[in-house]
Amino acid sequence: MKRPHFDSPPLPKRKKRRGRRKSKAERLARITSEPKQTDDLFRLLNDYSSCKWDAAQSLALRMGTPDARAMVVRIILIKHKAPRAAAHYAKRLDMQNHELLNAVLSNSSPSSLAPLLLAQFLVELDETSLATEERLNRFLWPWLLQIVEQQAEIASVKAAVHLLLHPTSSDDAKVQEKKEQGRKLERALVTKCLKEGKLLHLVPPHALAFADRMSVCSSIAHEDEKTDLKFEETIDVEMQRRFSVAHHVQEVLRLMWPDTRVFLFGSSVTGFLSTFVNDEFYSPDVDLCALLPSSPQFRQDTAPLITEIKEHLNLYFSSDMTEDSEQVTAVTRARVPIVHFVDPSTNLLCDLCVNNVSALWNTRLLRRLLYGGADITTLEQQQLVHVRHFCKWIRKWRRIKKRAVGGALSSYGLMLLAIYYLQRISVLPVLDCSTNAVEDELTLRTLTEEELDKRIQATDTVFVDANDKCQVVRHWQTLRRGFFRFYTCEFDYEQTIVSLRTKELMYKTSKGWSRQKNTRLCLEDPIEIERDLGLLCSKRALGRLRCAFAHACIVLSKAEENEDLRDLETNLLASWKYEDENA
272: pLDDT strictly greater than 90 = no
* Stretch 322-347: mean pLDDT: 83
Q: Whole-angstrom Cα distance, residue 114 to residue 502? A: 52
pLDDT (0 to 100) of residue 302: 94
**Is residue 193, in this structure, part of any structural domain at all?**
no
pLDDT (0 to 100) of residue 39: 85
**Is residue 190, in this structure, part of any structural domain at all?**
no
**Is residue 30, in this structure, part of any structural domain at all?**
no
pLDDT (0 to 100) of residue 317: 81
* Stretch 403-423: mean pLDDT: 92
Tens of pLDDT along 208-238? Answer: 999 988 876 644 445 544 434 444 445 677 8
62/94 same-domain check: yes
- SS3 label, residue 539: helix
Q: What is the DSSP letter of 287?
A: E
pLDDT (0 to 100) of residue 230: 43
Tens of pLDDT along 160-207? Answer: 999 999 987 665 666 788 889 999 999 999 999 999 999 999 999 999
Q: Whole-angstrom Cα distance, residue 340 to residue 351? A: 5
Q: Which amino acid is at 207?
A: A
Instruction: Give the residue numbers spanning the domain of 261.
Output: 228-318+326-355
Tens of pLDDT along 15-50? Answer: 555 556 666 666 655 544 444 468 888 888 888 888
Tens of pLDDT along 131-144? Answer: 999 999 999 999 99
Domains: count for the chain: 3
331/402 same-domain check: no
Residue pair 547/194 in contact (Cβ under 8 Å)? The answer is yes
Cα 561 from chain centroid?
18
325: pLDDT strictly greater than 60 = no
Q: Last residue of a domain, which of 162, 180, 211? A: 162
Residue pair 118/82 in contact (Cβ under 8 Å)? The answer is no
Residue pair 367/501 in contact (Cβ under 8 Å)? The answer is no
- For residue 167, count CB atoms less than 10 angstroms from its CB and return exposed for 0-12, middle for 13-18, buried for 19 or more: buried
Is the pLDDT higher at 278 or at 187?
187
- Can you give the CATH number for the domain in which 410 is found? 1.10.1410.10
pLDDT (0 to 100) of residue 227: 38
Residue pair 196/577 in contact (Cβ under 8 Å)? The answer is yes
382/348 same-domain check: no
pLDDT (0 to 100) of residue 178: 87
Residue 442 banded pLDDT, cuts 50, 70, 90: very high
Q: Which amino acid is at 558?
A: K
248/344 same-domain check: yes
Q: At what angle do helices 83-92 and 66-74 cross, to 10 degrees?
A: 160
**Is residue 172, in this structure, part of any structural domain at all?**
no
Q: Please, what sign has the CA dihedral across residues 196, 200, 204, 208?
A: negative
Strands 506-507 and 496-497, by their bridges, are antiparallel
540: pLDDT strictly greater than 50 = yes
Q: Whole-angstrom Cα distance, residue 408 to residue 410? A: 7
pTM: 0.85
Q: Whole-angstrom Cα distance, residue 447 to residue 440? A: 11
* Stretch 516-543: mean pLDDT: 89
DSSP states along 15-37: PPP-SSPPPHHHHHHHHS---S-
**Is residue 390, in this structure, part of any structural domain at all?**
yes
pLDDT (0 to 100) of residue 437: 86
Q: Last residue of a domain, which of 138, 162, 186? A: 162
pLDDT (0 to 100) of residue 34: 43
Q: Whole-angstrom Cα distance, residue 472 to residue 108? A: 60
DSSP states along 422-477: HHHTTSS-B---TTT---SHHHHHH--HHHHHHHHHTS--B-S-GGG--SSPPPHH
Spatial strand order in the sheet of 338-342: 261-265, 286-291, 349-354, 338-342, 328-331
53 contacts: CB under 8 Å, gap ≥ 6: 44, 45, 47, 72, 76, 85, 89
422 contacts: CB under 8 Å, gap ≥ 6: 387, 428, 479
pLDDT (0 to 100) of residue 279: 46
502: pLDDT strictly greater than 50 = yes
- Can you give the CATH number for the domain in which 275 is found? 3.30.460.10
pLDDT (0 to 100) of residue 24: 63
Q: Last residue of a domain, which of 132, 162, 192? A: 162
316: pLDDT strictly greater than 90 = no
518/389 same-domain check: yes
Residue pair 565/559 in contact (Cβ under 8 Å)? The answer is yes
Average pLDDT, the chain: 85
Tens of pLDDT along 338-349? Answer: 999 998 888 889
377: pLDDT strictly greater than 60 = yes
Q: What is the DSSP letter of 132?
A: H
349/404 same-domain check: no
Is the pLDDT higher at 520 or at 489?
489
523/399 same-domain check: yes
pLDDT (0 to 100) of residue 565: 59
* Stretch 474-478: mean pLDDT: 93
pLDDT (0 to 100) of residue 107: 60
98/145 same-domain check: yes
Instruction: Report which secondary-structure segment, H or E, holds 251.
Output: helix 236-254
Residue 308 banded pLDDT, cuts 50, 70, 90: very high
pLDDT (0 to 100) of residue 320: 52
**Is residue 435, in this structure, part of any structural domain at all?**
no
385/337 same-domain check: no
563: pLDDT strictly greater than 60 = no
pLDDT (0 to 100) of residue 111: 56
Percentage of the chain beyond pLDDT 90 is: 55
Residue 583 banded pLDDT, cuts 50, 70, 90: low
53/142 same-domain check: yes
396/512 same-domain check: yes
The total number of residues written for the chain in this structure: 583
Q: Whole-angstrom Cα distance, residue 415 to residue 342? A: 26
Q: Per mean pLDDT, which of 212-216, 400-404, 542-546 is the most reliable? A: 542-546
